[in-house]
Chains A and B, each alone.
Chain A
Amino acid sequence: MEKRSLQAFRVGVLSLLFSLIFNLGSFASSEETKKSFDPGETIMHHVMDAHEIHITKGVHIPLPCIVKAKNGFDLFSFSSFKKNESLGYLTYTSGSTGNTYFYEHGHIYLLDSEKGVMTDETGSILNEAPYDISITKNVAGMFLGIVIMFLIFLTVAKSYKTRVGKAPKGIQSLMEPLILFVRDEIAKPSIGHGYERFMPFLLTIFFFIWILNMLGLIPFLGGMNVTGNIGVTMVLALFTFVITSVNAKKGYWMHIVAPPGVPLWLLPIMVPIEILGVFSKPIVLMLRLFANITAGHIVLLSFASLIFIFAEANGPAAGFGVSIVSVAFSVFMNFLELLVAFLQAYVFTLLSALYFGMATEEAH
């Protein structure tokens, strides 16, 4: 009996540790502010971009802020923002441009020298925002992903050079099936003749999305959610859109303005639909990746948050109890997310390839 309870305790502690891993940011922030636990805010805080990497309670890695106001660029660390007691915001005054910036909910605003902080009746800030090209959490995550990509693929490329005519070995044999997968299962069937031209883009986007998807699943990295950010997916979808449009042959455009085999009276309906389709394709690409990855993060965090919700409402014992279920579901979700990470990279690449194939199809 005693043994069993000890075991349960162990499981509980272990679960708590696990949950902590998934939910670092939330735990720390709730402690800091001494407020009651707000899962919604915690989760949003996690999935949204930030100017610092939140490792654990009180441990932050400040990231460089780069902003461009009217009178020039400012480069400073996020840690330069200091609490301004009179304003109630974090502020920083630049030495070079003389601008004072203040920080509110992940955004940097310019402090008006006369009016200070201006807000409308709903509380949203009306101050001018400088162009913010800071190395945010997601940018840093993206850079990390890119470094990993370079490490992997330069090694693989070197192996191909040094091991000409030999069987693949090491990381080369890990990546080769994936490269062949993109080539033989995605590019060749979707694009057909002339697929080689699109291979570098398809491979880059596939591994870019996949690696960043998986980076987002690693705890203690500040919960970066790069591919779950609509800005990132928008750019990726735009690349697909631009490449599709640039490479499109006459047949593709003719299909839009004069769909073959459609009765004349249907054209006024069909043509707007086709034109809409041109733009809806990249938009759907953008939304699908963003929604899938963000949803995964939200679900994972929700399971972890359950522990603290129960702990707060019914005492620590309830929290321990729920943690068992929560961790079980988190583990399951993590496996599912690993699959989703690959699947979404595959789907994005496949659809891009299909659009390229449609664009380059010879008129028939």
Chain B
Amino acid sequence: MMAHEHLRPAGPGLGQKIRRLHWPFVALVAVIGAIGYGVLYSAGGGSQEPWALRHLMRLAAGMGVMLVLALVDVRLFFRWAYAAYGLVLGLLVVVEVMGEVNKGAQRWIDLGVVQLQPSELMKVVLVLVLARYLHGAYLRDLRRPLSLLPPVLMIVLPAALVLVQPDLGTAVTLLAAGTAVLFLAGVRLWKFALVGGLGAAALPVAWANLHDYQRQRVFTFLDPERDPLGAGYHIIQSKIALGSGGLWGKGFLMGSQAQLSFLPEKQTDFAFTMLAEEAGFAGAILVLALYLAVILAALVVALRCTHQFGRLLAMGVACNFTLYVVINVAMVTGLIPVVGVPLPLISYGGTAMLTVLASFGLLLSVDIHRNTPIPRYPGEL
């Protein structure tokens, strides 16, 4: 706690923090992660290998990180927000340049132990930096358009970098989460309408700049049967798996679509489909309810926080999480195009798990430090 010593006034002590920790939330996260273990056990054909066990280890490590972050004084995050944002933005640029050099889409940096995906990290640091900036803005400040320029740039810059990677799903997530935080901070609704209108007008331009495979995904989404063995195969097989699951499902390890490999990517993007095939509508609804419980718990955390930074950060984290779940489930049920967004805590994949659990660490830290005053100007810290 060396770093905390110069923060005034002093925050709560360690014992108090542990008592204040939102244990039901932690339990909820653990339960969803455990369901993920079950899904991946089944995806491995009834085996720990190759996914389930590693998922469990990552879950444990991720939750460790979450708990450590939860205990960190929230003012530390406040202080380092810009630096973190700048670092991740820099990493995004590095990835972009490396991608150019390697003549291909590269989204991650190999650190040897883990493959770091800066666009995932950006989801967390974006809401962090927006909360940091908007903490100082009263409603009257937000009426000046010039004051909105920095946060808009904070959103658009990384979103644009991610879009050219190209990663449509993450770009949309960044834009949506950023917009949500601006809205929560109190930006007038008509301004969103204006930007929305401009965006709609720019849609043809955006379409012209989309990659072929991205356009293909849109086409395939509009009519999956157009190319049943090619691009539409995934979504058709996913709907068959979901639909044939029925009310109560086919039973654990009994999903013919998943077990006989008709369902592609069942351990990553289509994990929800696998779950819904084997556990049925009942199981799918239960998991959705658990996710909603996480989101509503985050809402409560935001509402009971006494400082704007914490409120915006908590809601930003909640919005990020919502976007993960809603985009993934809407994608596998054929409501939106396949954009490659994993199902948090259940899909196999390290970076997404770490990002989500780290953002939960921030959320829990906000909750523990909900009464810790944060001055409007950093100099007063």
A and B co-occur in one complex: no
Residue numbers of B with Cβ under 8 A of A are none
Residue numbers of A with Cβ under 8 A of B are none
